[in-house]
Amino acid sequence: MPVTSKSSVRGDKILLAAGKLFARQGYHGTTTREIARLADVSENTLFRHFDHKEELFWLTLRSYSGGLQFRRDVLEGITQCDSPEVVLPKIIEMLADTANYRPELLRLIAVAFVELHAKVNEFCQEQLSPVFSAINHYLEINIRSGKIRNLDSTILTSALIMTVLTHPEIYNLIDGNKPVYPNSLEAHRAYARFWLDLIVPRTSVYPSPNAQVRGEYPD
């Protein structure tokens, strides 16, 4: 059984506390003293793990971004270009779980763009771009093959990601009197149904409007 060092445990506690405070109060509104207090360590201990506050912020953001990683089965499905009915629900599940179980991540990304925008590009290229580009590439291939309707793949990727990540908050603005979905599984299914119905071509069981003129009836 692997042994976890006290130093590693303290570092993880500091990152967790920093994530909660940075997400709630912003970068400039959070002090290292507050982070140390929430993590139940001294401020000196904090600085033994992290050289300065900005380093702590970026390491915190990278730690929280761990949820935006493809599981092996999802990555294989994307690489092998499995059908949208198989791959899309898995992508949606990953995004929805990130929004549900790591709500601080979206706020931390917003803080990075607003308060530390000069250095945010490096983080985006390292953590976000590989995931978003892989989704876009998968959609683009399926558009070319006709498995997905002829749509702009980058707009489709953006809309898919933003729907899953921001829908609960937007829904509350529209109708805050009831929960969006009773549980995360129902949310995954609802998002998947919506997007598959929207982008996957369906063959009509009815003859085309001009079928009678051309005599093209189904057998």
**What rounded mean pLDDT belongs to the chain?**
85
- Where among 64, 79, 107 does a domain terminate? 64
Domain end, chosen from 44, 64, 84, is at: 64
The pLDDT value recorded for residue 18 is: 97
Q: What is the pLDDT confidence band of residue 34, given thresholds at 50, 70 and 90? A: very high
HSE-up of residue 141 (Cα within 13 Å, Cβ side): 14
Mean pLDDT of 49-58: 95
Task: Indicate whether 54 and 96 sit together in one domain.
Answer: no
**Residue at 129 is within a domain:** yes
Name the percent of the chain lying above pLDDT 70.
86
Residue 178 has a pLDDT of: 63
The arithmetic mean of pLDDT across residues 94-98, rounded, is: 85
Domain that holds residue 27: 6-64
Structural domains of the chain, count = 2
pLDDT at residue 84 tops 90: yes
Per residue in 142-177, pLDDT (tens digit) is 999 999 999 999 999 999 999 888 877 777 778 766
31 and 81 in a single domain? The answer is no
Is 96 found in the same domain as 33?
no
* Percent of the residues in the chain that have a pLDDT greater than 90, as a whole number: 59
Q: Are residues 135 and 156 in the same domain?
A: yes
**Which domain CATH number covers 165?**
1.10.357.10
